[in-house]
């Protein structure tokens, strides 16, 4: 089946630094990618929707200048957490939706643990 | 806008017993429905989905769900659970979208299934 890969799977960074998380669709072209955030023992909250070649659409309450999303190709989207703070520590998950044969199914990455110290 | 309600935050069950995880949704438009499973410290794995057609959907690992439009429900069932089914289960809904490709997912708060010996 279709595979979505996230990298890194976990990262620890110092407060004030920036960290980038990559989301790749390995065997299909992802016209749309979604970024979610999940706090421990809570549900996934959509942060933003990105379409290849255009600006991401952010959900209400999500700071677009802090969470930079780039979807430069049909197989790669990146989330950059800028000037990270401890409260940004969370599990970040991306998902990708393809077209054509892949149909309406959305595939999720394995997630990335971010710890800001 | 859609919303998803998972009434049970935790469901304890003995091994080999049947289980039902409840999910109700609210939407003013037609929707696609999904169940995902999340094992500890991992991303989400699709269990099953309802797009159209038969209201009884069979998924992986012996799970099935039934779409009930009149009751706006999509309950997940398994006739006999195993210890390895212990995980968090998320119900999700997406609208069909303008092109039929589905849109962003809205998740329920999750149900922790704990299978005991």
- pLDDT, tens only, A78-115: 999 999 999 999 999 999 887 654 455 778 888 899 99
A56 touches chain B (CB under 8 A): no
Tell me whether residues B104 and A34 touch, CB distance under 8 A: yes
Tell me whether residues A111 and B106 touch, CB distance under 8 A: no
Residues of B in contact with A107 (CB under 8 A): 46
Q: Give the residues of chain B that fall short of pLDDT 50.
A: none
Res B103: pLDDT: 64
How is A25-76 classified by DSSP, letter by letter? Answer: ESSS--SEEEEEEE-TTS-EEEEEEEETTSPPEEPTT--TTTEEEEEEETTE
Span A47-62, pLDDT tens digits: 999 988 888 999 999 9
- Report how far residue B40's alpha carbon sits from residue B60's, in angstroms, rounded to the nearest whole number: 18
Find out whether B80 and B16 touch, Cβ atoms under 8 Å: yes
Alpha-carbon distance A15 to nearest alpha carbon in chain B (angstroms): 23
A110 touches chain B (CB under 8 A): yes
- Report how far residue A42's alpha carbon sits from residue A39's, in angstroms, rounded to the nearest whole number: 5
Res A6: pLDDT: 92
Residues facing A101 on adjacent strands: none
Span B7-31, pLDDT tens digits: 999 999 999 999 999 999 998 888 8
Res A31: pLDDT: 83
- Report how far residue A62's alpha carbon sits from residue A55's, in angstroms, rounded to the nearest whole number: 14
Res B101: pLDDT: 55
- Least confidently predicted of A8-12, A18-22, B10-14: A8-12
Structure tokens at A86: 């401890």
Residues of A in contact with B102 (CB under 8 A): 97, 104, 106
Q: Which residues of B touch A (CB under 8 A)?
A: 32, 34, 36, 41-46, 49, 51, 90, 94, 100-102, 104-110
Res B45: pLDDT: 87
Structure tokens at A97: 């939706």
Residues of B in contact with A97 (CB under 8 A): 101-102
Strands annotated E in chain B: 3-5, 10-14, 19-21, 24-26, 31-38, 44-50, 56-58, 64-68, 73-78, 87-95, 106-107, 111-116
Work out the number of other CB atoms within 10 angstroms of the CB of residue A38: 21
pLDDT interval class at A76 (50, 70, 90): very high
């Amino acid at each position: 089946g279709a595979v979505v890969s996230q990298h890194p799977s976990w990262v620890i960074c110092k407060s004030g630094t920036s960290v980038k998380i990559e989301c790749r669709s390995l065997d299909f072209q992802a016209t749309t990618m979604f970024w979610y955030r999940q706090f421990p023992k809570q549900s996934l909250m959509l942060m933003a929707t990105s379409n290849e070649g255009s600006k991401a659409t952010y959900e209400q309450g999500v700071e677009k200048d802090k969470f930079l999303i780039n979807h430069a190709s049909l197989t790669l989207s990146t989330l950059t957490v800028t000037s990270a703070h401890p409260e940004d520590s969370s599990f970040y998950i991306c998902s990708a939706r393809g077209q054509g044969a892949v149909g309406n199914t959305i595939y999720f990455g394995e997630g990335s643990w971010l710890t800001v110290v | 806008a859609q919303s998803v309600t998972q009434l049970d935050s935790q469901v304890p069950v003995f091994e080999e017993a049947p289980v039902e995880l409840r999910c109700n949704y609210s939407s003013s438009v037609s929707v696609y429905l999904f169940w995902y499973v999340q094992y500890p410290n991992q991303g989400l794995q699709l269990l099953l989905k309802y797009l159209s057609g038969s209201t009884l959907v069979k998924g992986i690992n012996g799970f099935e769900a039934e779409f009930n439009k009149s009751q706006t429900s999509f309950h997940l069932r398994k006739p006999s659970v195993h210890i390895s089914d212990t995980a968090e289960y998320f119900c999700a809904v997406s609208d069909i979208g303008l092109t039929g490709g589905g849109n962003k997912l809205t998740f329920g708060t999750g149900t922790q299934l704990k299978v005991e010996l």
